[in-house]
Structure 1
Amino acid sequence: MKNVLIINGHQYYDVVAKGELTASYIDTATNFLEENSFTVKTTHIEKGYEIEEEVQKLVWADYVIFQYPVYWMSMPWLAKKYFDEVLTQGKHYASDGRSREDASKTYGSGGLLKGKYMLSLTYNCPVSEFDNEKGFFDGLSLDEAHIAVHKIFQFCGMTPLKSYAVHDIFKGDLNLDFELEKFEKVLKDNFLLD
């Protein structure tokens, strides 16, 4: 059996961010994974957590899904605080990777975690802004626009799975059933074909 940790990085703001959309994605992922014989643990950052328990969950996990809404082009500040607190306990990397004795060991190569991770994002930004030289993100792909979040996991030794994002969530015409079908397809590709 494979172990999956789902981290809920949502942060509540009345009117604009109550958490229902994030919960829909986490419920879909949990049901999909459990139906396919994965063991699932979850952390809902906003509801509180014990640092040492989270340290151990990351060590336990073969896979991590980090589900979060994009606030001001990155993760909510409570999610950043979570990573700052949990990843500074010395259990997820041996060093920054460099060695005075071996110049081939480079920065960022000291991670101890060997699992894989998936980013799953909820966005008000339209998909057309990515991979578009004239777009807001200056031609960056979705993953390039979230390089800092990717590097958190990669610094700890994890490798990326395909990311997922739902866009235009405030436009008023979001077809959630259709989007969750797309999400489930990404889950199949990431977890059943891996």
Structure 2
Amino acid sequence: MKKILIIMLCLASTGLWAQSTEFGIKGGLNYGSTGDIDNFSDAKEDFPDITNGEEKAGYHFGIFAKFGISSVFIQPELVYTKLSTDYGAFDYNLNKIDLPVLLGIDILGPLNVKAGPSFQYITNNEIENGTFKISDVENDITVGYQLGAGVNLGNLGLDVRYEGAFTDNTAFSETASENFGIDSRPSQWIFSLSLTL
């Protein structure tokens, strides 16, 4: 009888800690802005209508994997993101590839929370509706963070996150008479719908 109980406990324990692996696609909207303008007073002299960045909506899409043990999981993603910021005198457009690596935990039924570093690679940055060009950013790859919560409903998932920056990553004006720059690292809210395949 003891052997049967021990075997049952071992099987239950194995089932509890059995690793699960999932893959899927995701996409959605993001709402936020890139950082402030460096040397703002100099920029204001060249462009009287200039303001510090105001949030605009963008979008993202990509793939994800999820590796779980019991209620704890790691979720790496590969996501293409387009973000735009309104600086009054012009819009600053940013295209980037994000690689967040999130540690999460299922806390109550379908609800989970997650957080972790987010690696950003900028593929393109440009000025729209402006009279000057912007240089490439100082660093093609930077590290920020994401944190948020999600709900899984079968194969569908809904996710809300905040993304922030650890450091600035400036792109400078190429043609304005004064040397000012724009911090390209965004602060944004991310709203995603995912499908596990």
Common fold: TM-score over 0.5: no
The structure that is helix-richer by fraction is: 1
TM-score scaled by length of structure 2: 0.23
Larger radius of gyration: 2
The structure that is strand-richer by fraction is: 2
TM-score scaled by length of structure 1: 0.23
